[in-house]
Chains A and B, each alone.
Chain A
Amino acid sequence: MADRHKQTKSKYTLDRKVPGAFEGETVTRRRLMGLGVNGAGIVAASAFLLPALGFAIGPIFSREPFEWQPIGPPADFTQDTYKTETVTIVPGLGEVGKSTAYVRARNPAIDTEPADQYNQFIALSSRCMHLGCPVRFTAAAARFICPCHGGVYNFRGIPVGGPPVRPLDRFYTRVNNGLVELGPRYSVNSELRRFSARDPGQPLDGIGQYLYPARFSTSVLPKN
Chain B
Amino acid sequence: MPKLPAPPLPKSLKPKPKRPGEGNGNGNGNGAVGLSHPVAEAGVSAVDWIDERTSLSGGIRWMLFRKVPRGVNWFYTLGSATMFAFLSQAVTGVFLAMYYRPDATGGAYESMRYITDQAFLGQFVRGMHKWGSSVMVILIFLHMARTFFFGAYKYPREMTWIIGVVLLILTMAMSFTGYLLPFDQRAYWATIVGVNINGTGPFIGPYLSDFLRAGPEFGATTLSRFYAIHMLLLPGLIIALIGAHLWLITKLGISAPPWLKGEPDPELEQTEV
Contact = CB atoms under 8 A, between A and B. Distances in A.
Nearest to B194: A131
B219 A217 contact: no
Interface string A70-101: 00000000000000000001101111110000
A131 B216 contact: no
Interface string B185-221: 0001100110111011011011101110111111111
B173 to A, nearest CB: 15
B197 A131 contact: yes
A211 B203 contact: yes
B239 interface: no
A89 B199 CA distance: 19
A88 to B, nearest CB: 11
Given A133-B189, A148-B193, A201-B200, A90 B205 contact: no
A56 B214 CA distance: 8
Contacts of A150: none
A94 to B, nearest CB: 4
27 contacts: A57-B211, A59-B210, A59-B211, A59-B213, A59-B215, A64-B215, A64-B217, A92-B220, A93-B104, A94-B105, A94-B106, A96-B104, A96-B188, A97-B220, A131-B197, A197-B216, A199-B195, A199-B199, A200-B196, A201-B196, A201-B197, A202-B200, A202-B205, A212-B206, A215-B206, A217-B210, A217-B215
Contacts, number: 88
Nearest to B208: A60
Interface string A27-62: 000000000000000000000000000001101101
Nearest to B218: A96
B202 A131 contact: no
Interface residues of B, number: 29
Contacts of A94: 104-106
B216 A64 contact: yes
Smallest CB-CB A-B distances: 6 pairs: A199-B199, A211-B202, A59-B214, A217-B216, A131-B193, A201-B200
A219 B189 CA distance: 23
Interface residues of A, number: 32
Interface in B141-200: 188-189, 192-193, 195-197, 199-200
B216 A218 contact: yes
Interface string B103-114: 011100000000
Contacts of B220: 90, 92-93, 97
A96 B216 contact: no
A133 B215 contact: no
Interface of A: 56-57, 59-60, 62, 64, 89-90, 92-97, 131-133, 148, 197-202, 211-215, 217-219
Nearest to A197: B216
Contacts of B188: 96
Given A92-B220, A215-B216, A60 B193 contact: no
B202 A199 contact: no
A57 B207 CA distance: 9
Contacts of A133: 189, 192-193
B228 to A, nearest CB: 10
Contacts of B221: 59
A20 B183 CA distance: 69
B210 A212 contact: no
Contacts of A57: 211
B203 A213 contact: yes
A95 B202 CA distance: 31
Contacts of B209: 199
A59 B225 CA distance: 12
